[in-house]
Amino acid sequence: MAFDDLLEDPVIQKYLHELVGPKGMPVAAAPPDGEVTDEELAEELGLELNDVRRALFILYENDLASYRRLRDEDSGWLTYLWTFEYEKIPEQLESEMYRLLEALEEREDYEKDNEFYLCETCGIRFEFGEAMEFGFECPDCGNPVEAMENTRLVGAMERRIEELRDELNVDRGTEA
């Protein structure tokens, strides 16, 4: 996938937005070619310097940007020159999908292996053991808790797990 195509992909746009948030998105969405300083980015994009620095640091933490330091001989001030490294995004997204698949599989097992009770008034959900400890009464409001059916939730999880497995081309139990 070409660099420009990467940035136009809505999945990648959402990924970047999730990382840097709305204030950092102008920084992430329009990376310049070559090196750039945080001050240049702030001026070019009309953003607060702190917002630009925050976005750059988040991109750096996620291996999507790097920097090199230059020291001014006269003043001793350090200048940071930033480079964007978005070619790693597809592999990072795939890694995120594997983490999501693993988390959904664990949650699916939890939902299948437990019996739940719900306080209709407070909306609090209890595992069977907790409900029994409280005498099948909500500890917050005192109303009785009722057995809760979670088959729709489990069904939705199963569908999402299958979609992820299809996208990742893995079978049940296959590790990344």
User: pLDDT at position 11, please?
Assistant: 82
User: pLDDT at position 1, please?
Assistant: 45
User: pLDDT at position 30, please?
Assistant: 78
- Per run of 10 residues, the mean pLDDT along the chain (length 176 residues) is 62 89 90 89 93 96 93 90 89 89 95 96 95 96 95 94 90 57
d(CA 101, CA 148) in angstroms, rounded, equals: 25
User: pLDDT at position 141, please?
Assistant: 95
d(CA 163, CA 102) in angstroms, rounded, equals: 13
Domains of the chain are 3-84 (1.10.10.10), 90-168 (no CATH)
User: pLDDT at position 92, please?
Assistant: 86
Asked whether the CA dihedral 164, 85, 18, 11 is positive or negative, the reply is negative
Q: Which residues, including other chains, have CB under 8 Å from residue 12's CB and lie 6 or more apart?
A: 6, 89, 93
User: pLDDT at position 171, please?
Assistant: 78
User: pLDDT at position 172, please?
Assistant: 65
CA angle 88, 78, 42 (to 5 degrees): 60
d(CA 57, CA 174) in angstroms, rounded, equals: 34
d(CA 43, CA 11) in angstroms, rounded, equals: 28
User: pLDDT at position 90, please?
Assistant: 86
